């Protein structure tokens, strides 16, 4: 679930890909973005330092929910990756020269339930 005004705010950011900050496994503060390290993707710790819950900042990829510009949509596809299709898409985005951003001025709620 996203707060009112999120879509308009993300459109105003005018980025290749931008997404709101979402805790993927509440209440652990695991962000819906990762950093490319070597040939893989990982979340740097501490999360609050590298992926703060405020501001607009560049990340290597955004998961779960994002808004993408038409050139990204028309160029990049989801593809198989050992870590999941989100990682395959992230590689496509990076290799095509696009940039992903986290707009933590908008905090979404992930409707996660353990063991479901």
DSSP, collapsed to helix, strand or coil, labels residue 27 as coil
DSSP, collapsed to helix, strand or coil, labels residue 69 as coil
CA atoms lying within 13 Å on the CB side of residue 43: 16
Contact 37, 82 (CB under 8 A): no
Domains (range + CATH), the chain = 6-104 (3.90.550.40)
CA atoms lying within 13 Å on the CB side of residue 110: 19
Could you report the per-residue pLDDT of 41-60, keeping only the tens digit for each? 999 999 999 999 999 999 99
Environment class of 69 (CB within 10 Å of its CB; exposed 0-12, middle 13-18, buried 19+) = middle
Is the pTM higher than 0.85? The answer reads yes
pLDDT in tens, the chain (116 residues): 888 889 999 999 999 999 999 998 888 889 999 999 988 899 999 999 999 999 999 999 998 788 999 999 999 998 888 888 889 999 999 999 999 999 999 998 887 667 75
Could you report the per-residue pLDDT of 78-87, keeping only the tens digit for each? 888 888 888 9
Closest alpha carbon to 18 in 59, 53, 73: 59
């Amino acid at each position: 679930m996203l707060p009112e005004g999120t879509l308009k705010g993300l459109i105003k950011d005018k980025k290749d890909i931008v997404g709101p900050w979402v805790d993927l496994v509440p209440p652990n503060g695991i962000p819906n973005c990762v950093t490319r390290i070597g040939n893989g993707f990982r979340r740097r710790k501490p999360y609050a330092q590298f992926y703060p819950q405020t501001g607009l900042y560049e990340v290597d990829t955004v998961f779960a929910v994002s808004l993408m510009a038409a050139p990204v949509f028309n160029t990049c596809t989801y593809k198989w990756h050992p870590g999941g299709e989100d990682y395959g898409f992230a590689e496509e985005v990076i290799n095509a020269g696009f940039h992903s951003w986290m707009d933590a001025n908008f905090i979404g709620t992930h409707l996660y339930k353990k063991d479901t």
